[in-house]
Chains A and B, each alone.
Chain A
Amino acid sequence: MKNIVIIGGGIAGVETACALAEGGNHVTIIERDDKLGGKLNQWYCLFPDFKKSTQVLDYIKNRIKNFDIELKLKSTVEKVEPNGDGYFIHTGNVRYAADAVVLAVGYDLFDATRKEELGYKIYDNVFTQADIEAKFRSGDLNTTFGKAPERIAIVHCVGSRDEKCHNMYCSKVCCVTGVKQAIEIAKFLPKTEIFCFYMDLRMYDKHFEELYRSAQEHHNIQFIRGRVSEVSATPDQRLSIKTEDTLSGRPMKMKLDMIILLAGMEAKKNTRQVARLFDVETEESGFLRSQDFHLGAGILSRKGIFAAGACISPMSIKETIENARSTAMQVNQYLKTL
């Protein structure tokens, strides 16, 4: 029986762990938090089918029960030592021997205060999509002044595709997240006007485009092609944004009650540290560098170290689960060569 250590107990980590345990390996998950599921715990429901995030979380929790997976919660890796073909992983005063390691450390949501001009944590009623998910869960979509918002702007590409944040890449799932949230809000508050301010709408996966069309067709959500440059407060406690309606070629101002910033997915602040610890390469963006984009997304630059999930690149829950399974296969293939 081979020993495998998984770093991170989010969706990617748990799914990889289960897939590997299914193959008869001894798997350990080291998770910093006190529970499994990672960022998904903060979400309310998922695109494109509005599946409740709890359903995916339940699937994960039930699936892990089937296997004898060792859980090491509230722990972080302190040291990594080579051990023959494998490694010793030190956490606290415990040492794990691992024939293979899977890094599934996940992502960070872009800290929207870094885009100061958008007024996050400066003005009332400027939220991120994560704040809105929390609002969905609490069932309260009112503004901080306790009123139902009459008009909401959803701002795409906050902290992604932006040289000003050193994030040149597209975080890809935000577009559809925005459309999903717009529809959810529209269902909840049918009288509210909702605008999405986008640079390009990237409806890349199955059913996404239909979701976009449905947002227009059934919920009267308006899409304005322009990047929001400035947010300011108006004397009547509302918000005002400046953008350009690029399709008509004219600057545009709009008063609003709520702004939702679609903060991009970033490599975790400590992904670089983790990479140094395991001596694997990262990309300029901070995400882990796959050995091959097409043939080995989960294979990293050092033998026996693999990656799964959003620490490789931004991805949706569906892709994360697929990616976790594919990484598990790659780990298995590798273990056979030992």
Chain B
Amino acid sequence: MFSDYFYYPFLIGTIFLFVVVIGRFVKWFMGLSKIDKIRVRIGLFSMKTLQSVWESVREGLLHHNIFKTNKMLGYMHMSLAFGWFLLIVVGHIETSCYHGSMFFPFQHSIFFRYYVTEPTDFPGHAFFNYAMEILLFFVLSGVMLAYFKRFRSKTFGMKRTTRMRYGDRIGLTALWLIFPVRFLCETFTAGVYHNGSPIFNGIGDAFASVGDLNPWLNPLWLTYSVVLGVFFVAMPFTRYMHIPAEINLIFLRNWGVTLKERRVNTFTLAEVYSCSRCGICIDACQLNLAGIKNSQSVYVLKNIRNKNLTDEVLFNCLLCGKCQEACPVGIDVNKLRITQRIETTKQYNSSYDYLKTGKTRQADIVYFAGCMTHLTPSIKQSMLKILDHAGENYWFMDENKAPCCGRPLMLAGQYDAAQKLIDTNTKMILESGAKRLLVNCPICYKVFKEDYQLPGVEVLHHSEYILDLVKQGRLDVNPSDLRAVYHDPCELGRGSHIYEQPRELLNTALTLVPMAREREKALCCGGSLANTKISMAERDVLAGKAMEEFATYAPDLVVTSCPLCKKTFAKVDSLPVKDLAEVVAGAVERKV
């Protein structure tokens, strides 16, 4: 009475999926650099592999990171992934028990209730019946939430949800149908054969009371097979590829493979395909406030995958790193974006043949103020005051002229061009014989710290340097009763992980008011040089909104440690904005 070939769509889909996924993994592996391949070979037989297995369970199935951001969204992902996983595993054990053997055609476990309609009594039969049905309810609860989220994303505490392509709709529809159809298959079958637990049998009876269920069984099971098959065929071409890709990424990452900033390789694809388009990055992005809604990380990843990334999207990003902090999959979106920028601009790097190393002066410490600081002379003057006060033998390297540090070029993808500036500055710094390089601009700090080869020279952000002076007792800071909020500059906080030194320093001079969004969650001022597309008016919106948020803490002033942040916030003109150098210089002055 049942047609016996109904499972073919499922079978074809499954084989297709495995071939494509394995094929992709092999291709990605082959595309890695030699050194990355060695990393994989070494990593494969290390503890890292076990660690990755655990991480795959934690993130791929339980979705621990999404839970941290949003419990409801976490439950949705967990019930779908973990629930489905358990359905497969428990179903397989159930079938093994029934057959009394591990070896049986694998569609048997998927369509178990289809095949086993006669009364049976293998060990644990009743338990499996209950377990499988409860698991199905568990998955269905996730599916219901997914329906709900698509139409009412706000319920999830999310303002926005990702926009979809045509192919994704097919995948999504298939996925949404799988479990409700399975539910109908199993309850209808139970209505006819009473092969379920009392729960499904009861539901089946209820359906049966409406009409004859027999003619429905065949079409239903066939539909189930077809939706599974469609979903599996669609999976590699839709966002659902993230399910295998994320596992792959976890392993590669733990084995030490990273995205090299200077080149695009297949690790890019391993990351791109791991994006589940959960939309958490969209909510983390401040550009929404200015009405920029097409350049968030999820869209860039999608554009890379679909090969339709434009400069207008790629460069419309502050690279503030907030989405990267929020990404549950841990995709290195900033580096990913920079590598894309390198790729798209590599044909037009400048050579800067005019650069000459200028006069240097022997000193213990080199002070590099940076381009922006010349537009914030109060920071510059405060730094000089502090240096004089500490009695340092310093050389103010860019007092009159010096090349830019190179970071703004790198943010625009112009790595080769930046190298020319880096070489010139490196030569001058090393010639001075200084042991320390002091900068007060986080943009400069990051590049000096990460991209300059300065053997024997310690690169210090002024928050570190001044804090050292205070700790050594070389600077007496007179505390005041001012209340301030501290704004973490992106390049210093998320970019260089310097969160505590500025706070420790500021606490000696005033009272810091903690904010809900600070440190890793700090806002961007909106002035970031990384975004070459955003208009001034849009920047103003971001700065204004951030200042509004600061104002809710009723501080006497806003303190930051970046000349660009300072200038951007000062433009809003709602609260006084100071650099921490000014705060300290002012506090020192009062005492003297």
Interface string of A105-136 (1 = CB under 8 A from B): 00000000010110100110000000000000
A166 to B572 CA separation, bound complex (whole angstroms): 9
Please state if B374 and A116 are interface contacts (CB–CB under 8 Å): no
A231 to B375 CA separation, bound complex (whole angstroms): 9
**Is B26 on the interface with A (CB-CB < 8 A)?**
no
A338 to B376 CA separation, bound complex (whole angstroms): 57
Interface string of A164-198 (1 = CB under 8 A from B): 11100000000000000000000000000000000
**Is A230 on the interface with B (CB-CB < 8 A)?**
yes
Q: Which residues of B contact A165 (CB under 8 A)?
A: 571, 573
Please state if A116 and B381 are interface contacts (CB–CB under 8 Å): no
Q: Which residues of A contact B374 (CB under 8 A)?
A: 117, 230, 232
Nearest-neighbour CB distance to chain A for B571, whole angstroms, equals 6
Please state if A116 and B377 are interface contacts (CB–CB under 8 Å): yes
**Is B378 on the interface with A (CB-CB < 8 A)?**
yes
Nearest-neighbour CB distance to chain B for A218, whole angstroms, equals 36
Closest to A164 in B: B571
Please state if A114 and B376 are interface contacts (CB–CB under 8 Å): no
Main secondary structure on chain A at its contact with chain B? Answer: mixed
A187 to B380 CA separation, bound complex (whole angstroms): 37
Interface string of B532-565 (1 = CB under 8 A from A): 0000100010000000000000000000000000
Other-chain residue from B536, B540, B570 in contact with A114 (beta carbon distance below 8 A): B570
Chain A: interface residue total (CB-CB under 8 A): 15
Please state if A231 and B377 are interface contacts (CB–CB under 8 Å): yes
Count chain B CB atoms within 10 A of each CB in A116, A163, A165 and give the residue with the most: A116
**Is B152 on the interface with A (CB-CB < 8 A)?**
no
| Chain B stretch 74-109: residues in CB contact (< 8 A) with chain A | none
Other-chain residue from A116, A164, A166, A229 in contact with B376 (beta carbon distance below 8 A): A116
A229 to B573 CA separation, bound complex (whole angstroms): 20
A133 to B536 CA separation, bound complex (whole angstroms): 35
Interface string of B355-390 (1 = CB under 8 A from A): 000000000000000000011111011000000000
**Is B567 on the interface with A (CB-CB < 8 A)?**
yes
Nearest-neighbour CB distance to chain B for A26, whole angstroms, equals 40
Main secondary structure on chain B at its contact with chain A? Answer: helix
Count chain A CB atoms within 10 A of each CB in B378, B380, B540 and give the residue with the most: B378
A310 to B376 CA separation, bound complex (whole angstroms): 31
Other-chain residue from B375, B377, B573 in contact with A123 (beta carbon distance below 8 A): B377
Please state if A116 and B378 are interface contacts (CB–CB under 8 Å): yes
Given known contacts A231-B377, A232-B377, is B570 in contact with A116 (CB within 8 Å)? yes
Q: Which residues of B contact A163 (CB under 8 A)?
A: 536
Q: Which residues of B contact A122 (CB under 8 A)?
A: 377-378, 381
A229 to B376 CA separation, bound complex (whole angstroms): 11
A116 to B540 CA separation, bound complex (whole angstroms): 18
Nearest-neighbour CB distance to chain A for B562, whole angstroms, equals 14
Q: Which residues of A contact B377 (CB under 8 A)?
A: 116-117, 119, 122-123, 230-232
Nearest-neighbour CB distance to chain A for B536, whole angstroms, equals 6
Q: Which residues of B contact A232 (CB under 8 A)?
A: 374, 377, 380
A114 to B380 CA separation, bound complex (whole angstroms): 16
Interface string of A195-238 (1 = CB under 8 A from B): 00000000000000000000000000000000001111100000
Interface string of B376-409 (1 = CB under 8 A from A): 1110110000000000000000000000000000
Please state if A230 and B375 are interface contacts (CB–CB under 8 Å): yes
Q: Which residues of B contact A164 (CB under 8 A)?
A: 571
Nearest-neighbour CB distance to chain A for B40, whole angstroms, equals 52
Closest to B376 in A: A116
Please state if A116 and B571 are interface contacts (CB–CB under 8 Å): no
| Chain B stretch 512-542: residues in CB contact (< 8 A) with chain A | 536, 540
A164 to B377 CA separation, bound complex (whole angstroms): 17
A230 to B371 CA separation, bound complex (whole angstroms): 12
Q: Which residues of A contact B381 (CB under 8 A)?
A: 122-123, 233
A230 to B536 CA separation, bound complex (whole angstroms): 21
Nearest-neighbour CB distance to chain B for A110, whole angstroms, equals 11
Count chain B CB atoms within 10 A of each CB in A122, A123, A164, A231 and give the residue with the most: A122
Q: Which residues of B contact A231 (CB under 8 A)?
A: 377
A165 to B570 CA separation, bound complex (whole angstroms): 9
A119 to B376 CA separation, bound complex (whole angstroms): 8
Closest to A269 in B: B573
Q: Which residues of B contact A116 (CB under 8 A)?
A: 375-378, 567, 570
A163 to B378 CA separation, bound complex (whole angstroms): 22
A114 to B572 CA separation, bound complex (whole angstroms): 10
A247 to B235 CA separation, bound complex (whole angstroms): 64
Other-chain residue from A114, A117, A119, A233 in contact with B573 (beta carbon distance below 8 A): A114
Nearest-neighbour CB distance to chain B for A203, whole angstroms, equals 30
Interface string of A142-168 (1 = CB under 8 A from B): 000000000000000000000111100
A229 to B377 CA separation, bound complex (whole angstroms): 12
Q: Which residues of A contact B573 (CB under 8 A)?
A: 114, 165-166
A3 to B386 CA separation, bound complex (whole angstroms): 61
Q: Which residues of B contact A123 (CB under 8 A)?
A: 377, 381
A231 to B381 CA separation, bound complex (whole angstroms): 12
Closest to A123 in B: B377
A166 to B571 CA separation, bound complex (whole angstroms): 8
A20 to B157 CA separation, bound complex (whole angstroms): 60
Please state if B376 and A117 are interface contacts (CB–CB under 8 Å): yes
Nearest-neighbour CB distance to chain B for A200, whole angstroms, equals 21
Closest to A114 in B: B573
A164 to B380 CA separation, bound complex (whole angstroms): 21
Closest to B572 in A: A166
Q: Which residues of A contact B376 (CB under 8 A)?
A: 116-117
A87 to B232 CA separation, bound complex (whole angstroms): 75
Q: Which residues of B contact A166 (CB under 8 A)?
A: 540, 571, 573
Q: Which residues of A contact B536 (CB under 8 A)?
A: 163
Q: Which residues of A contact B380 (CB under 8 A)?
A: 232
Nearest-neighbour CB distance to chain A for B369, whole angstroms, equals 11
Nearest-neighbour CB distance to chain A for B227, whole angstroms, equals 56
Binding site for A on B (CB under 8 A): 374-378, 380-381, 536, 540, 567, 570-571, 573
A116-B378, A116-B570, A119-B377 known; 11 other A-B pairs, CB under 8 Å?
A117-B374, A117-B376, A117-B377, A122-B377, A122-B378, A123-B381, A163-B536, A164-B571, A165-B573, A166-B571, A233-B381
Query: Sorted from nearest, which 5 A-B pairs have the closest CB atoms?
Result: A117-B375, A122-B378, A122-B377, A119-B377, A116-B376
Question: Can you list 21 contacts pairing A with B, beta carbon distance less than 8 Å?
Answer: A114-B570, A114-B573, A116-B377, A116-B378, A116-B567, A117-B374, A117-B375, A119-B377, A122-B377, A122-B378, A122-B381, A164-B571, A165-B571, A165-B573, A166-B540, A166-B571, A230-B374, A230-B375, A231-B377, A232-B380, A233-B381
